[in-house]
Amino acid sequence: MSQYEGLTQGSFKNSTARRLPICFCLDVSGSMIAKTTRGTKRIDEMNAAFNRFLEAMKGNEVVAESADVAALTFGGKVDVPLQMTPISQVEAQTFDVRKRSFTPLGEAILTAIQLLDLRKQGYKDNGMKYFQPWLVVITDGEPEGDGAAEAMDEAVQMINQLESEGKIVIFPVGIGTDVDFRELKRISRIRKEPIRVDETNLSAFFDFLNASSEQVVTGSLETEELNRTINRQYEPEETPSDDDGYQQEINLDDWSI
């Protein structure tokens, strides 16, 4: 069975507003049940932050008129609990952890690319203008499972090509202290470093997405400037590195928001 089976173009809103498709790849592997520093579970923090984000976006008249949202989850396998939908029609979501499951990160990214391709074709079929899509990848781990390394290599090649052609904006987000940032770093060539977010303060990152989406749909922020803004927002003051250019012994407090 193809990993793309069940993907659709999603639903469309009768609107003349230029569309901004945002696809989330959310980690629901077993490690997301780990406790945070304040005793909550990572998955609960992500669910709460994601739903606050939805409400904030729906409450923003400009963004609600333009934004379309989809969510993929990956943990053992890739699922699509939320096909691409106008954000004004999206209800609260609850993503559940799959205990003792691996992390098919590459498969999730490949599925997201396919979903976004379908969405863009849907826009064209319906004569709708759109902004290049956003892909938000949130994980606390690294690719794991049968074929995970090969799928990750394929995903990196495809996503790097799309990014170099200006056809996608990527937000690679690591939460917690046990993320393999070397793998996340591969997802974007434009991003100086992956986005590191304190697992108890995910809402700050989602607030940043909300504010950035408003600037994009109103025309006050172009894609190139958005990428520079992301780099400035999440760049540490100092970046110690080894001979291979990877960070070592970084104080994660300097990277959190």
Print pLDDT tens along the chain (257 aa). 456 667 888 888 888 889 999 999 999 999 899 888 889 999 999 999 999 999 999 999 989 999 999 999 999 899 999 999 999 999 999 999 988 778 899 999 999 999 999 999 999 999 999 999 999 999 998 888 888 899 999 999 999 999 999 999 999 999 987 788 889 999 999 888 899 888 888 999 999 999 999 999 988 777 777 777 777 776 654 443 333 333 333 232 333 33
pLDDT score for 3? 63
Q: Let me know if residue 15 belongs to a domain.
A: no
- Whether residue 8 lies inside any domain: the answer is no
**Residue 13 domain-assigned (yes or no):** no
232-252 core/surface letters (b: 16 or more CB in 10 A; e: else) = eebeeeeeeeeeeeebeebee
Pair 200, 140: CB distance under 8 Å: no
In the prediction, which pLDDT does 247 show? 31
Q: Is residue 2 part of a domain?
A: no
234 found inside a domain: yes
Q: How many domains does the chain have?
A: 1
Q: What is the CATH number of the domain that holds 159?
A: 3.40.50.410
Query: Does residue 156 belong to any structural domain of this protein?
Result: yes
What residues make up the domain containing 181? Answer: 20-255
126-158 residues labelled b (16+ CB within 10 A) or e (exposed): eebebbbbbbbbbbbbbbbbeebeebbeebbeb
Residue 120 lies inside a defined structural domain of this protein: yes
Classify burial at 220, counting beta carbons within 10 Å of its beta carbon; exposed 0-12, middle 13-18, buried 19 or more: exposed
Query: Is position 111 within any domain?
Result: yes
Q: What is the pLDDT of residue 20?
A: 95
pLDDT for res 235: 65
